[in-house]
Copies of this chain bind each other. A is one copy, B any other.
Amino acid sequence: MKRYFVTGGAGFIGSHLVDRLLSQGHAVTAFDNLSSGQLRFLERARASDRFELVEGDLCDADSVARAVRGHDAVFHLAANADVRFGLEHPDKDLRNNTIATFNVLEAMRLAEIKTVAFASTGSVYGEPEVIPTPEDCPFPVQTSLYGASKLAGEGLICAYAAGFGFRTYIFRFVSILGDRYSHGHVFDFYRKLRIDPTQIEVLGDGTQRKSYLFVHDCLDAIFTAMQGSHEPVNIFNLGHDSYCCVDDSLSWICRELGVSPQRRYTGGKRGWVGDSPFILLETKKIKSLGWSAKVEIPDAVVRTLRYLRENQWLLEERA
């Protein structure tokens, strides 16, 4: 039994990770400020006596330093994950992603914990010239505050690996789908169509191409990487080898809902500033360790939608 500390443990991916670690027989502390995390995601976990929830904010360095003591490793998943609204509050990504990551690393250093896994993002590639984008693609230029804040987090983590002997895992995710999903295009489309199924606004021109990964495939990949790779710095893209365009995904959603809305496009190649028109990550590196995605993208979209239909409370929570 190991003791794991999961920041953002009440969130979409974090709560699944908590469940998985508990099912493996480990002890788990979830650290979450519940700003977007949900206690209901932790219903199963809270039934375990190997689980503890610490309600706290990573911006409070002291509280994370206190809470992290006595753990063997940290999964740092807490973040402001909304790439779209960065420009409305430019300091949010800096505080919740960059400075929060620093606070986690310092807390670990003081507590002599040396293994950290970090949820980064394919957004650090900006609008890459090489697609599918490998981990060692040309030095990227940031196009969003979100990507910049995650890149900064990656840099800090690598510096702690070099300077303090940390073993670090950096996962650059595409968008993740699945149960407990609570923001992103499936969420937005479903919420709009619930209100008015006759028409729908689509950000951009609908041709943006994106790869998506199902949450359990994502967790499988994380465990595969941490079992199979033991460098000081281990960086992995996590994504699906295929992609879909926004219009395709909307069609699957509409078919599942039995609706045929008129589509209105806001226009342009991008849905918002910093939106990359084509996100497809090369996954050779993680696949070389024996992992592959099991859930295809159309299935992942539909399963996510079904989850939301069965959990309408989440739409109210996030309204």
Measuring CB to CB, which residues of chain A are less than 8 angstroms from any residue of chain B? Answer: 86-87, 90-91, 94, 98-99, 102, 105-106, 109, 126, 135-145, 147-149, 151-152, 154-156, 158-159, 162-164, 233, 235, 273-274
Contact = CB atoms under 8 A, between A and B. Distances in A.
B136 A159 contact: no
A137 B155 CA distance: 16
Which 6 residue pairs spanning A and B have beta carbons closest together?
A: A148-B155, A152-B152, A142-B158, A136-B138, A142-B155, A148-B159
Given A94-B99, A102-B94, A162 B144 contact: yes
Contact of A159 (B106, B143, B158): B143
11 contacts: A94-B98, A137-B139, A142-B154, A142-B159, A142-B162, A143-B158, A145-B156, A145-B163, A148-B152, A151-B151, A152-B155
Given A90-B109, A142-B156, A152-B155, 5 more contacts: A90-B163, A137-B139, A139-B140, A144-B162, A163-B273
A15 B100 CA distance: 35
A90 to B, nearest CB: 6
Q: Indicate the member of A90, A138, A141, A151 with the most B CB atoms within 10 Å.
A: A141
Given A151-B151, A152-B98, A163-B273, A158 B141 contact: yes
Contacts of A94: 98-99, 102, 156
A91 B160 CA distance: 12
